[in-house]
Amino acid sequence: MATETTKVVPLTCHGHSRPVPHIHFSAITSEDQYYIISACKDGNPMLRDGITGDWIGTFLGHKGAVWQARLSADATLAATGSADFSAKVWDTNTGEALHTLQHNHIVRAIALPNQPRPQILATGGMEKKLRIFDLSHTSSSADGSSGATPPSYEIGAGVHTGTIKSIVWGADPNILITAAEDKKIRWWDLRTQTTIGEYAVEGPVGTCELDNTSADGTLSVAAGKSVYFFNSASPGALLKSIKTSYEIGSVALHSGDRKFVTGGSTQNDTWVRVWDFDSEKELETNKGHHGPIWSVSYSPDGKLYATGSEDGTIKLWKHTAGPYGLWR
């Protein structure tokens, strides 16, 4: 019997009608379950079973493209940032919008602390402002709809000189990390509301995300033809950067397996590549998407990874030997 490889046909999740700029997994919830949310330029973010890709529900209410979407650790809340100049917080059980947070420009980035049902939210985007919202201070209006906008404050006014493309909450709930079009990765301390670290990357920023598969949460950044890996707990501390011969749109790290995955960012490069972190060699090249790959993420158990593409699909790729999920 031939030795099994991890290179198997991916599961394709249909349903979106426009490009998928961002996907995000929850942590593992009860009974070894986890979930995935997808942002989409069709304005209709979707919640799915993270293991099978089965559709659970669509959050209806945005009037523009949704650029980024995230789940709370326990998957009870979802947060979305949109081109309709708003961010929304949703109840994932009912699909109800709990909060609508108005902005003065497109919201490109959104983040929740890595904890169950968080009461704080960070947003950023084309306003070039990092804003923190307190979700615990709101009241419902008489008709049951969301009441007054939660109070918010801006951190680091004037520091970002380009659109904020991604916000990541560190393992320490007092630390936020931003990636902006000014090619800077910045670490922020919420207690002092100031930057405590900064790193300039060489190319346009693609993704900026924490490793889902470990508690320390190494930060992975795609920028131009390079990928960067940072110690997220040590502001500005670069662990390694790797230059490739490809334009990289997205990257995700599996620190336990010492592997990372990249997605191409051009119409001529729609490949998903798996790399060895230590040797920096390409291990697998997987074809399946028909457009640039704007987001890639490992599942919290590390047994699969997901990709979101310009082609409007999400694909789940097996990353473990033996049967898993629908790969039986």
Q: Who's near 187: CB < 8 A, 6+ residues apart? A: 170, 175, 176, 177, 195, 196, 197, 198, 235, 236
Q: What is the pLDDT of residue 148?
A: 67
Query: What pTM did the predictor assign?
Result: 0.93
Q: How far is CA 38 from the centre of its chain?
A: 9
CA-to-CA distance for 249 and 308, rounded, in angstroms? 11
Q: What is the pLDDT of residue 2?
A: 39
Q: Which residue has the tokens 């033809």?
A: 225
CB 232 within 8 A of CB 219: yes
In this structure, the dihedral spanned by the alpha carbons of residues 184, 188, 194 and 200, taken in order and rounded to 10 degrees, is -20
Coil vs helix vs strand at 30: helix
CA-to-CA distance for 207 and 307, rounded, in angstroms? 12
pLDDT in tens, the chain (328 residues): 334 444 679 999 999 999 999 999 999 998 889 999 999 999 999 999 999 999 999 999 999 999 999 999 999 999 999 999 999 999 999 999 999 999 999 999 999 998 888 999 999 999 999 999 999 876 444 333 445 678 999 999 999 999 999 999 988 899 999 999 999 999 999 999 999 999 999 999 999 999 988 877 899 999 999 999 999 878 999 999 999 999 999 999 999 999 999 999 999 899 999 999 999 999 999 999 999 999 999 999 999 999 999 999 999 999 999 999 999 8
Q: What is the pLDDT of residue 139?
A: 46
Q: Who's near 301: CB < 8 A, 6+ residues apart? A: 28, 32, 34, 213
Q: Which residue has the tokens 């945005």?
A: 62
- Phi-psi map region of 61: left, alpha, beta (phi>0 left; psi -120 to 50 alpha): left
In the chain the domains, ranked by start, together with CATH numbers, are 17-200 (2.130.10.10), 206-319 (2.130.10.10)
CB 216 within 8 A of CB 234: no
